[in-house]
A and B are shown apart, each in its own frame.
Chain A
């Protein structure tokens, strides 16, 4: 834990760098800055809290999440995230990590759905259990090759629906996910945009979420990433663990298959 506080201080100091000095090639400097950030990742703090939450007896039934099956058997966390989303027979639907966690909180710990989903994303002292749990659970897949199967018909369908949502244009600005993430080598302002329609881009992007966002001082999950993309897309708010969010995640995660999972990461 000692290392984490040092990491925080380092990340904080580095965050000031690129704004203060934008030299000849701003893009090169930003790449250097991102490289330097990798040295210390405050995500460790979320990971530690997530592990505690997983093992703690909680909820009206006072049980831990250790009986939760993330797809590889009850309590098996190692490598589980690299195979999500997937079809779960006990719920007869495809679930991503957060949806599965909610399912376990409701069916095993006895929380109501409303109580379980009260705080999907944290803000300062109002912390989200999902961000902590996701940090720990995803860290347990670090280095594991992404392997999201489309074996079950419902997995195939989720992928197909996810692809449709990716290309769906709407809202005041006619934006689809594809508007920003459909071509190689594009950026918004100075931010590089991964092309999520190709394997290389999908792999790079998907395997680096969740991530500690230096600009927000928060660890953000893939559900958050989708939620905030749709805000900027000028859509209404994407509901936490909604069917659209799971379908889109299935589409993107499957496109990243074969790449070694590499999160929680750290981003600007």
Chain B
């Protein structure tokens, strides 16, 4: 043993005791490894649910670590480019069906039947119609959506796009990307667009 070795060992031991915490990057890597070992596939929820796409990865930061502007723009641009608008050009479906989809909270959980259509559970986070008083507040109120915004072609396109992929307009939005992630069908997104924009919808009464 050379004379220097005890010092190196001592220094190493101090490092372990004093600052054992991992670097931010190491912690992220370790957390993912631990998660992969800590979850079990069940029903339709497979382990690939833990594979993050770029937006999910970049949006996994505490709010204190604000997203740099160019990163936010990159997420929005990529998600905007991924929106697939209906081939028939029609964006408005049936608002009555939209209301049922907005009320339903099933879909994609391991406890859900994958053969049944998923809901969007809009009311979990948004006020929509005046009749439904059981609504959440994570998202803004959408009551009188079209009365406040109109229902021009641009608004229709924005609304369909927002439901299809919220991150196209707000990076790291809390709202699921219903079309992009295959939660809802194209027809269901159309029906929800109608729920927000149809003058007969309770949202606009």
Contact = CB atoms under 8 A, between A and B. Distances in A.
B148 interface: no
A22 B27 CA distance: 47
B87 interface: no
Interface stretch (A8-16, A32-40, A54-62, A176-184): A176-184
A167 B49 contact: no
Chain B, interface size category, equals 35 or more
A161 B35 CA distance: 10
Contact of A172 (B20, B28, B108): B108
Interface string A163-188: 11101111111111011101101111
Interface in A229-258: 230-232, 234-239, 242-245, 247
Contacts of A175: 176
A17 to B, nearest CB: 15
Nearest to A164: B31
A170 B47 CA distance: 11
Given A153-B17, A161-B27, A174-B181, A236 B133 contact: no
B27 A160 contact: yes
Contacts of A183: 138
Given A189-B136, A190-B134, A236 B17 contact: no
Given A235-B39, A243-B34, A245-B38, A173 B176 contact: yes
A156 B21 contact: yes
A169 B31 contact: no
Given A168-B35, A174-B177, A243-B37, A234 B56 contact: no
A104 to B, nearest CB: 21
Contacts of A171: 45, 49-50, 108
Interface string B50-87: 11100111011111000000000000000000000000
A26 interface: yes
Contact of B108 (A26, A163, A165, A173): A173
B168 to A, nearest CB: 13
A243 B27 CA distance: 14
Interface string A131-161: 0000000000000000000000110110011
A112 interface: no
A245 B183 CA distance: 27
B56 A169 contact: yes
Contacts, number: 150
A164 B25 CA distance: 10
A197 interface: yes
A176 B39 contact: no
Contacts of A167: 60-62
Interface string B30-49: 11101101111110011101
A189 B135 contact: yes
A223 to B, nearest CB: 12
A197 B108 contact: no
A189 B123 contact: yes
A180 B52 CA distance: 19
A153 B109 contact: no
Nearest to A191: B136
Contact of B21 (A160, A178, A234, A236): A160
Given A22-B133, A189-B124, A156 B20 contact: yes
A213 B44 CA distance: 27
Nearest to A173: B176
B176 A235 contact: no
A238 B109 CA distance: 13
Contacts of B181: 172-174
B106 to A, nearest CB: 11
A13 B46 CA distance: 40
13 contacts: A26-B134, A161-B34, A164-B60, A167-B60, A172-B108, A172-B176, A231-B109, A231-B111, A237-B39, A237-B40, A237-B42, A238-B38, A243-B34
Given A164-B31, A189-B134, 12 more contacts: A157-B22, A157-B30, A167-B61, A169-B60, A172-B108, A172-B183, A173-B183, A183-B138, A187-B138, A190-B134, A239-B38, A244-B35
- In the A-B complex, list the 9 residue pairs whose CB atoms are closest, starting with the nearest: A153-B20, A244-B38, A242-B38, A164-B31, A173-B176, A236-B39, A237-B42, A171-B49, A169-B56
